[in-house]
Structure 1
Amino acid sequence: MYSRLLQFVMTKPKVVYSILLIAVITAVAMIPNLNIDTDPENMLSENAPARVFHNETKNTFAMRDMIVVGAVSNSSIFTPAHLQTLHTLSAEIEKLDGVIVDDLLSLSAVDNIRQEEGGGIRFEYLMKEAPTSQAASNEIQGFVKRLPMLDNTLVSGDDLAIAIYVPIESKDLSYQIAEQVRAITASINSDLDFHITGLPVAEDQFGVEMFIQMGVAAPMAGAAIFFLLWYFFRNIPLIIAPMVVAMATVLIIMGSLIGMGFTVHIMSSMIAIFLMPIAVVDSVHVLSEFADNYKKDDDPKTVVTQVMKHLYTPMLFTSITSAIGFYSLLLTPIPPVKVFGAFIGTGILLAFFITITYLPAYISRLSPANLAKLQEAVTRMEQKGLLSNALEKLGKFARSKVVAIILVFLTLLAVSIQGITKIEINDNPVNWFKSNHEIRVADSVLNEHFAGTYDAWLVLQAPPADNKQTFAAFNQALIALNEHGVDTTAIQNQFEADNKQFSQSLLVAIDDLAFEVEDEQADQVTALYDLVEAEMSKNKLFLNPAMLNWMGQLQNELVATGLIGKANGLSDIVKTVNRELNSGEQKDFVIPNSSDAVAQTLLQYQSSHRPQDLWHFVTTDYQQSLLWLQMTSGDNQHTTKVVAWVEGYIANNPAPMAIEYDWAGKSYLNIVWQDAMVSGMMESLLSSFVIVFIMMVLLFRSLKYGLLAMMPLTFTITMIYGLIGWFGKAYDMPIAVLSALTLGLSVDFAIHFLQRARELERETGSLTQALILMFEEPSKAISRNAIVIAIGFTPLLLSPLVPYITVGFFLASIMALSALVTLVLLPALLVVTQGKKRADISNTL
């Protein structure tokens, strides 16, 4: 079948060029529709339970994505000049589009809570106007220390820093708003150091810089590959062919991804840099093989036909196995990783197809002069140089030190397995930037001063109540009203709208009905109202003093562990208001003794300038409550420890009333998708490993050679991840997907080595002679390909973004290690597996 295709492309090259050009132009036309997405929330599918609950929590408690703006002083922040600066900054931030002004947290926007002279409680803006004297500044400082919701959240515990929490309408506005805030702070004449951080702005800023990196890294990789190919072949017309294959592959795949409506995530942003070096590998094989076989006055088409028939099968299998390595990522539960794996795998197959169609058409039309230059280039490469001498020595070593090599590799395998057990799963979007990046610096400075700019939300709620008897009484009351001609449609509709739950809105509907009915039905409506209200009161879990005291104790114990800087909750509001309603002294900073008294404190709080703040911590039916935990670290390991501690505490110190709990917040979502990624990667790696093994057995029609082909893959993956464990590098998303690339490319080298070694053994009748010949041109081809791929990834090392640097470094290491394992371990294993021939082989070495 391929023979017919080959003849067609060589006789109709313009058709091939035209089809390829149209495909590229069509794909490029899609690129302007590019949509960047760096939100880690999208690492989970939309219907993932953790993500669904997170979004429900945001809606239920009106929690916002926030940018944290911090101002740091070398001395006390409580001076008239500093407070004037913060007052001005807060006012300017409120003017920005996309900022939710009502929820903005700053000294200018929050309330001071204190006793009214003559009794009662007073709510007034803490800093409606900036103070003009030091005494007034000190007074504000004293007020802050009495307000647990503000202390160490808006003002640092050391009084050296003040923060403004900027809630935004949409997290994808965070970079834009952060840039506007930076412009404002730059225009302010102050000796304060301003910093901006928070997960939303870190993620959005990464997206902006990732977009820039996409436009820089891929061209740099292309340039590196171009100069490397020029070094190999010293002929521009020859270099054009593999570069066209690489560029066409990248443009078609990226254009297709964008055109199909996929967003470009951190993973898919690396598609171009992954495909660029991989796409040229087969081209190098074809050009080298063609040059070896072409002689002056030969018909180029005849030689191309011979070369392509010879290389078609190994190139097909190497392409399929590489693609399988990436397609295996489809088994992970992480949508962006699935997209990355699908398009890289397809890109590898596309590069193979372009290679076997475009390249023969191109080479067959080369001029005699360029063909002669090709021969000269290959002849020059075949001359003994540093690489040739090194490979010759390596070949002798691999053939003569069989036992030592196998023992060394087995030892390395054992050490690597031990290293793998030390790997820790961890990630933090802020750490995607280099340590000197403004985001990292801001994160470090502000978390040093404050209770923490990272948050997690612990949601406590009453379990589903057994309301069967109440529901029956409720329905019976409605039936009775209907029988007396009363229209209860509005009540029934509200009941359905509230998912058949008793709610405040249902009480309002019943109360409205009371004004519409005749006097003889009024008592029935009142009884219905009392029934619903009584049931609701019974379920108002978070008005119960015992429950609030338990929550307060949980907060105190959690802070005492040092795992979090602070926990903010409903009990803080109740205690603060209760203190000011009574003596104003610390002895009354307690939870009142009755639910009615608790309700009174909350009613008083709702007369403040920010009554909506209450509903960030409790629902209107008082059946759910949220604890806002502030942490100084956003690392997954840290959040995992917090979650585990809370789970253990609740198990050992049960709440006084039955409760259920769950987690939300960006920090918690990160550990959920990281855990899903690890289990998914393991499943995909094992399944693709089995598939590749089966393919190797079918390719070589030999169980032995199938097993041998898997050795470089097995050792490379184990060693790379062993090193990661030993060096303490966190297992994050970029590290996880390296297994797919390792699987594909490591087995590629093994296929070429074993296929060629078997052919040479059949031709020479001697394994020894075959191995000697293998370390001439075949080993150089493998080495050159490893160098091409490794060099292609080196531009990533210049990136300002840590994930790109990580990928660049480890991929270059993987290529070097894969080639080394192939060229050292496989010869040794071939010698060992020869059985009775081994002695004869050894004697001839």
Structure 2
Amino acid sequence: MNSISSKLVAISTQKPLWVYAILLLLTLGVGSQIPRITIDTDPENMLDADHPARVFHNQTKADFGMYDAIVVGVVDDENSQGVYNESSLTDIFDLTKSILSIEGVVDADLMSISTVDNISQAGPGTIRFEWMMPNPPADEAAAAQIQTNIERLPLLYDTLVSQNGKAAAIYVPILDKNESYRIAEEIRAAINQFDGTEQWYITGLPVAEDQFGFEMFVQMGISAPLAGLTIFILLFIFFRNIPLIIAPMVVAMATVIVTMGLLIGFGFTVHIMSSMIAIFLMPIAVVDSVHILSEFSDRYKPGEDLKAVVKEVVGHLFTPMLFTSITSSVGFFSLMLTPIPPVQIFGAFVGFGILFAFLVTIVFIPAYLSRMSDKALNNLQEALHQDGNGDGSRIARIARGLGKIATGYKGSLLVAFGVIFAVSVWGVTQIQINDNPVRWFKSDHEIRVADRVLNENFAGTYNAYLVLTDRTEQATPRSMLDGVTMPASLQDWREETLATVKKGAQGEALQNLIFAIDDKLFDDLTPEETDYLDAVMAKVETANSQGKTFQDPEVLAYIEKLQQTLQDSGLVGKSNALPDVVKVVNRELRSGEQKDYQLPDSSNAVAQTLLQYQSSHRPNDLWHFVTPDYRAALVWLQLTSGDNQDMTAVVQLVSDYIDANPLPAGIEADWAGKAYLNVVWQENMVAGMLDSLIGAFVIVFVMMIVLFRSLVYGVLAMLPLTITITFIYGLIGIVGKDYDMPIAVLSALTLGLSVDFAIHFLERARATFNDTGSVQQTMAIMFEEPATAISRNALVIALGFTPLLFAPLVPYITVGVFLASIMAISALVTLLLLPAVMSLGRKIVFKSAN
């Protein structure tokens, strides 16, 4: 190792300008890719494109014509009639008209009071479809009539207008969810034209995700420079020499620019995780530089051979820095074992950035130090070795104080850390796995406020889809035509017909066969040919009718009971499905009274209600609940919460219901919808993170044994890591913080950086003991420069993340808080527990030092 470091130091100190030029060209060249940045905040991309849950979700959207939707809500608490007043309804009408003119909105599926039908009885056996609000109400009586009409239609009640009448909603389906921020901004501009007393809100997962992307982009441009400024100030406090601290800042900036440039240059989008790469690397990249500068400033004295001192310092630190860099990168590379693509990318590029920072540090820092002027070096010594009143010496005094505690209260420390570890283990068992993209914003953010207000008033703005599909094998046109003896004269017609009707789904093929037979019956046929076609027609019509599973009253009754169970559970605000359509139309075809709000008793009657519904102004709405072949149906669930825990409870409820009440023969149930996808990727993330953490832990443990060539030192190196990880996640469980995406990823950082401090402490302690032969003297020396350097690094990394605490986005705040905690805890465990354990077990530990 020393020969490698000597060669690198020799090259960099002899050819410093070449080092500068190569680093500059590399940084500028790779950094030129950064303007090509593409932001991605779609939680769907937390799953692979070919993940079964994601494939089924997208297929469901295609089969049932579902689109991502922005939810616009209005609340009128001032008027006694709520939103059922002339002014509010006029504003809703005008806003709807404005939204329909926005590019990217799916006009035909937009749901507003003014774009839906009122379904009523025109007379016995006759149904009328007319616009619910073709024009703004002329008076309060007309507004009251709209209220009466909506409350008679379960499909609309508590979806378009709240049960308390205080709020109304407009559901804005959009072609491209990546356009949701733009569309939401245009809607806000239209709302700003109103001067009423109503309060308007915009929410929905697509707009929340796109809004997050916009603010994330802004946050990247703020937090990274602030982190850099914070680190610069801290380094100035430590070394009080601006020329000296420019070097680690160059390393940090080059590392961030090259890493982000490579990520973007390779075509990867910047997700919420990868947006934090710059923030993670900025403090981590200066760790090795601080170790070098700390020891250099302590060792170098005016008049000494500068290059010789640099070579000695780097040679002394090369091995521990190399292993700390490798172990830190292993912690992040382990994230590539997770099944979550954005987390894999994050882990890969942070791991690369750490190794790149090590290489740049080893080459650039010696080159930079070798070119420092005598004046700058003299100023450094004067600043660091003055009368001891500076901040740098204050850190040294704190480090020495920790040494006295570590060596003076060994037994008490072991007991204290033992108790902390036991409590932490219990805390880990209390962790709740949960996430919700809307909660990525602070509680007072307009997105969170809108989400809270609208879900308090409505059945829910979060969507989940339960898809029921009949998987039984259907009759085919060939089986129908083969079932009856056919006249030879129809052989050609048969083959042509089969070639034509087999296209499309099986149900569609049978329907096409009916059309083909019906057309043929108009030809001049022989009695034998006519009898054959009549017989086949009867078989096909029977098979076609039986194949329309979701026209069967018994199947619809099953869905109806399932909906009632969901409603009674309190977990679901409301569900909409095919039985609701059928019951409304059936009521109006009969008496128009509530007693006839029920399912018909025959398939033909069900078919008649659906045929009537298709004469409305929105006939395609039917296909949101059932496929045209009636072989698959969708139950649209509205939830007031987007939390994974709540969606998981709904999935479990449906599973339990189906276990107790088996689905009709041949029918299978599957889930789709964004709320469900969030559950899937969270489960994948938890399992993946656990696997990656265990795998990385084992790898790092083996590396420690190899590094120290000692099982004892390998175990000691893992001690701070084990306690820090357990404490952090135990604390998360105890305080009730949800285990979400940012929290999960922190395990990699904990693993990498906790062992970093331990490696430096153990390597330096072993080398010092070999020089002194005294445990007491070794510990005294360890709590001079080595402990000071560790303390400086802990402060640099911890405080380097503090700009995140002022971010408007919760994941950034979470990372900032817990990273600072990780650094403080891992440094304390290293400086307190390791010396205590080493002192108590001196016969075993220092016997392994040689």
Q: 1:308 aligns with which of 300, 303, 314?
A: 314
Q: 2:717 aligns with which of 704, 709, 712?
A: 709
Moved more, 393-402 or 341-350: 393-402
Counterpart-to-counterpart distance in 1, 2:510 and 2:365 = 73
Q: 1:339 aligns with which of 342, 345, 367?
A: 345
Superposed displacement of residue 21, structure 1: 1.1
Aligned counterpart, 1:488: 495
Aligned counterpart, 2:434: 426
Aligned counterpart, 2:49: 46
Q: Counterparts of 1:396-795 in structure 2 under 5 Å?
A: 396-465=404-473, 467=475, 472-474=479-481, 484-486=491-493, 488=495, 491-492=498-499, 494-495=501-502, 497-498=504-505, 503=509, 506-507=512-513, 510=516, 514=520, 519=525, 530-795=538-803
Note closer, same or farther for the CA distance 1:478–1:170 as it changes in structure 2 (3 Å cut): farther
Note closer, same or farther for the CA distance 1:546–1:738 as it changes in structure 2 (3 Å cut): same
* Kept in 1: contact 2:464–2:674 (CA 8 A): yes
Counterpart-to-counterpart distance in 2, 1:362 and 1:559 = 70
Counterpart-to-counterpart distance in 1, 2:734 and 2:406 = 27
Moved more, 384-393 or 796-805: 384-393
Superposed displacement of residue 586, structure 1: 0.5
Counterpart-to-counterpart distance in 1, 2:89 and 2:443 = 30
Superposed displacement of residue 725, structure 1: 0.2
* Kept in 1: contact 2:583–2:599 (CA 8 A): yes
Q: Report Cα offsets for 1:614-666 as digits up to 9, x if no partner.
A: 00001111111101111111100011111111110111122344421011000
Note closer, same or farther for the CA distance 1:722–1:380 as it changes in structure 2 (3 Å cut): farther
Counterpart-to-counterpart distance in 1, 2:484 and 2:295 = 90
Counterpart-to-counterpart distance in 1, 2:513 and 2:442 = 56
Q: Report Cα offsets for 1:765-822 as digits up to 9, x if no partner.
A: 1112111111111111000000000011000000000000000000000000000000
SS class of match (1:486): helix
The one-letter amino acid paired with 2:129 is F
SS class of match (2:492): coil
Is residue 71 of structure 2 the alignment partner of residue 71 of structure 1?
Answer: no
Q: Report Cα offsets for 1:173-224 as digits up to 9, x if no partner.
A: 1111111111110111211100000011001100000000000000000000
Superposed displacement of residue 240, structure 1: 1.1
Is residue 836 of structure 2 the alignment partner of residue 828 of structure 1?
Answer: yes
* Kept in 2: contact 1:713–1:742 (CA 8 A): yes
Aligned counterpart, 1:8: 11
SS class of match (1:567): strand
Q: Report Cα offsets for 1:86-118 as digits up to 9, x if no partner.
A: 111111111100110100000100000000146
Note closer, same or farther for the CA distance 1:479–1:431 as it changes in structure 2 (3 Å cut): farther
Q: Report Cα offsets for 1:432-457 as digits up to 9, x if no partner.
A: 00010000000011011100001110
Superposed displacement of residue 515, structure 1: 7.6
Is residue 26 of structure 2 the alignment partner of residue 19 of structure 1?
Answer: no
SS class of match (1:59): helix
Note closer, same or farther for the CA distance 1:511–1:19 as it changes in structure 2 (3 Å cut): farther
Counterpart-to-counterpart distance in 1, 2:68 and 2:666 = 31
Note closer, same or farther for the CA distance 1:342–1:660 as it changes in structure 2 (3 Å cut): same
Counterpart-to-counterpart distance in 2, 1:688 and 1:264 = 25
Aligned counterpart, 2:140: 134
Note closer, same or farther for the CA distance 1:737–1:124 as it changes in structure 2 (3 Å cut): same
The one-letter amino acid paired with 1:33 is R
Note closer, same or farther for the CA distance 1:557–1:295 as it changes in structure 2 (3 Å cut): same
Q: Counterparts of 1:387-398 in structure 2 under 5 Å?
A: 387-398=395-406
Given the two structures, how large is their TM-score scaled by the length of structure 1? 0.96
* Kept in 2: contact 1:461–1:623 (CA 8 A): yes
* Kept in 2: contact 1:80–1:137 (CA 8 A): yes
Superposed displacement of residue 400, structure 1: 2.3
Note closer, same or farther for the CA distance 1:63–1:477 as it changes in structure 2 (3 Å cut): farther
Note closer, same or farther for the CA distance 1:475–1:201 as it changes in structure 2 (3 Å cut): farther
* Kept in 2: contact 1:395–1:771 (CA 8 A): yes
SS class of match (2:801): helix
Note closer, same or farther for the CA distance 1:34–1:415 as it changes in structure 2 (3 Å cut): same
The one-letter amino acid paired with 1:769 is Q
Q: Counterparts of 1:808-827 in structure 2 under 5 Å?
A: 808-827=816-835
* Kept in 2: contact 1:413–1:718 (CA 8 A): yes
Q: Report Cα offsets for 1:352-385 as digits up to 9, x if no partner.
A: 0110111111111111111222333443597784
* Kept in 1: contact 2:514–2:537 (CA 8 A): no
Counterpart-to-counterpart distance in 2, 1:365 and 1:728 = 53
Q: Counterparts of 1:72-91 in structure 2 under 5 Å?
A: 72-74=75-77, 75=79, 76-91=82-97
Note closer, same or farther for the CA distance 1:373–1:625 as it changes in structure 2 (3 Å cut): same
* Kept in 1: contact 2:713–2:845 (CA 8 A): no
Note closer, same or farther for the CA distance 1:391–1:289 as it changes in structure 2 (3 Å cut): closer
Superposed displacement of residue 485, structure 1: 3.0
Note closer, same or farther for the CA distance 1:494–1:24 as it changes in structure 2 (3 Å cut): farther
Aligned counterpart, 2:804: 796
Q: Report Cα offsets for 1:244-303 as digits up to 9, x if no partner.
A: 000000000001111110000000000000000000011111112222232322232222
SS class of match (1:722): helix
Is residue 303 of structure 2 the alignment partner of residue 325 of structure 1?
Answer: no
Note closer, same or farther for the CA distance 1:507–1:704 as it changes in structure 2 (3 Å cut): same
Superposed displacement of residue 836, structure 1: 8.0
Moved more, 764-773 or 701-710: 764-773
Runs of at least 5 residues in structure 1 that lack an aligned partner in the other structure: 839-845
* Kept in 2: contact 1:482–1:488 (CA 8 A): no
Q: Counterparts of 1:110-509 in structure 2 under 5 Å?
A: 110-117=116-123, 119-380=125-386, 385-465=393-473, 467=475, 472-474=479-481, 484-486=491-493, 488=495, 491-492=498-499, 494-495=501-502, 497-498=504-505, 503=509, 506-507=512-513
Superposed displacement of residue 464, structure 1: 2.8
SS class of match (2:168): strand
The one-letter amino acid paired with 1:315 is M
* Kept in 2: contact 1:77–1:161 (CA 8 A): yes
Superposed displacement of residue 473, structure 1: 4.9
SS class of match (1:92): helix
Aligned counterpart, 1:843: none
Superposed displacement of residue 406, structure 1: 1.1
Note closer, same or farther for the CA distance 1:30–1:494 as it changes in structure 2 (3 Å cut): farther
Counterpart-to-counterpart distance in 2, 1:10 and 1:789 = 28
Given the two structures, how large is their TM-score scaled by the length of structure 2? 0.95
Counterpart-to-counterpart distance in 2, 1:222 and 1:328 = 27
Counterpart-to-counterpart distance in 1, 2:719 and 2:831 = 11
Counterpart-to-counterpart distance in 2, 1:479 and 1:783 = 93
What is the CA RMSD across the aligned residues, in angstroms? 2.2
Q: Report Cα offsets for 1:683-732 as digits up to 9, x if no partner.
A: 00000000000000000000000000000000000000000000000000
